[in-house]
Amino acid sequence: MRIVMTGGGTGGHIYPALAIGKAVKEQHPDSQLLYIGTRRGLESRIVPQHGVAFEHIDITGFRRKISWENVRTLVRFYKGVKRSKELLRRFKPDVVVGTGGYVCGPVVYAAAKLGIPTLIHEQNVIPGLTNKFLRRYVSAVAVSFAESKQYFRPCPDVVHAGNPCSTAVLRANRSKGFASLGLPQDTPFVLVVGGSTGARAINEAIVEVVPMLEKLKSVHIVIVTGERFFEETEATIKKVLPIVSNRIHLIPYIHNMPEVLAATSLFVGRAGASFIAEITALGIPAILVPSPNVTNNHQEANAKSLVDAGAAKMILERDLSGSTLFNELSDIVENTSRHNQMAKASLTLGMPNAAQTILDQIHRIVR
């Protein structure tokens, strides 16, 4: 099988594509994969590191306000379609899979015009502009949240598959997660993380929580600050707590996130699609602080899906403080029954077979 994958701009688009590619290679070891992205996007660095062939097109995203830049973007789009057709004719794929981000627009559109079977995957509850545009041209759609299906009419073939990132995290070694943090096995800990680059608002709130830690049970707190915020967060903690508790672990970045998540008792962080897929696959209760700086405010919709199911609590960033965060933390940490109920609710939302479901869709449209 020959498969072209496309999607980019953020890891939330890239890693699901790579997870799909990995599932394809596991079932069809002789498959050939090609990833089409942009030179400026994260995909240009991440994809080659995973041993996948990479080609690029020149494309930018549309602005939501009327501007001359959108005229230039439209010109780039048609040039991107032309370049994509050249790459597709050369590679001769059996199917093209898009996972969102503006780069997949011209690639998937070009494939549809060439008569190549196409599938798009939407990670968030509210689809992005590109996937909304492509819904009229693709062969099939896979969504992470059941609530997303309504947005993909008139495409008749929409499947609730989940996010393929959830498949990978279930294979993670829990023991290695504890060991990498220097914690004894089965130590209960709260993982606080603001995404790959960190989140100042979450860091500031958890710093305010640190002096209150002694009020909680013997739970540890692992704070992943993001590399750019590490030194200032460390300095602030030392100011508010000169003798730092050995139950506080400050880390700039985690390279083995699946293993650490597999060991986590409670998650505090953003409501990005990949994190949500991973914590629900593992059944981890969560306190979610959606980023207000994302398109369509889609993280709040993502978080609400978990809140409605009883799997998470949500604090909007405008309401986030040390006291609001501590209240939610203590309510879950101190109440074993509530923690267990949330964990069970989280598991009901998990889609551990997401990659296989998407692969089944690919097999169906290719045939």
Q: Tell me whether the CATH fold assigned to 2-164+352-366 matches the one assigned to 171-349.
A: yes
Per DSSP, helices labelled H in 172-321 are 174-181, 200-209, 230-240, 257-263, 273-282, 298-309
- Nearest alpha carbon to residue 206 among 169, 160, 241, 176: 241
Q: What is the pLDDT of residue 60?
A: 65
* Chain centroid, CA 356 distance in Å: 18
Chain mean pLDDT for the chain: 91
Q: Is 196 annotated as a binding residue?
A: yes
Q: Encoding tokens for residue 143?
A: 């969504």
Q: What is the pLDDT of residue 71?
A: 60
pLDDT in tens, 107-120: 999 999 999 999 99
Q: Is the pLDDT score of 67 beyond 70?
A: no
Q: Encoding tokens for residue 313?
A: 């609590």
Residue 58 pLDDT level (bands cut at 50, 70, 90): confident
**Where are the chain's structural domains?**
2-164+352-366, 171-349
Q: Is 124 annotated as a binding residue?
A: yes
Please tell me the pTM assigned to this model: 0.85
Identify whether the C-beta of residue 34 lies closer than 8 Å to the C-beta of residue 55: yes
pLDDT in tens, 182-194: 999 999 999 999 8
For tokens 């594509």, name the residue. Answer: 17
My answer on whether omega of the bond before 154 falls inside 30° of 0, hence cis, is yes
Report the pLDDT averaged over residues 287-296.
90
Q: Is 11 annotated as a binding residue?
A: yes
What single-letter amino acid sits at 55?
E
235: Cβ contacts below 8 Å, ≥ 6 apart: none
45: Cβ contacts below 8 Å, ≥ 6 apart: none
Q: What is the pLDDT of residue 46?
A: 92
Q: Is 362 annotated as a binding residue?
A: no
Distance CA 146, CA 160 (A): 6
Element (H, E) at 337: helix 336-349
277: Cβ contacts below 8 Å, ≥ 6 apart: 123, 144, 162, 163, 164, 165, 166, 169, 350, 351, 354
Q: How many residues does the chain have?
A: 367
For tokens 């978990």, name the residue. Answer: 306
* Cα angle, residue 45 at apex, residues 195 and 96 outer, rounded to 5°: 95
Q: Is 254 annotated as a binding residue?
A: yes
179: Cβ contacts below 8 Å, ≥ 6 apart: none
Q: Is 177 annotated as a binding residue?
A: no
* Chain centroid, CA 290 distance in Å: 13
Residue 65 pLDDT level (bands cut at 50, 70, 90): low
292: Cβ contacts below 8 Å, ≥ 6 apart: 300, 316, 317, 318
Residue 362: strand, helix, or coil: helix
What single-letter amino acid sits at 214?
E
Distance CA 242, CA 345 (A): 39
What is the CATH class of 2-164+352-366?
A: alpha beta
Task: Return the CATH fold of 171-349.
Answer: Rossmann fold (3.40.50)
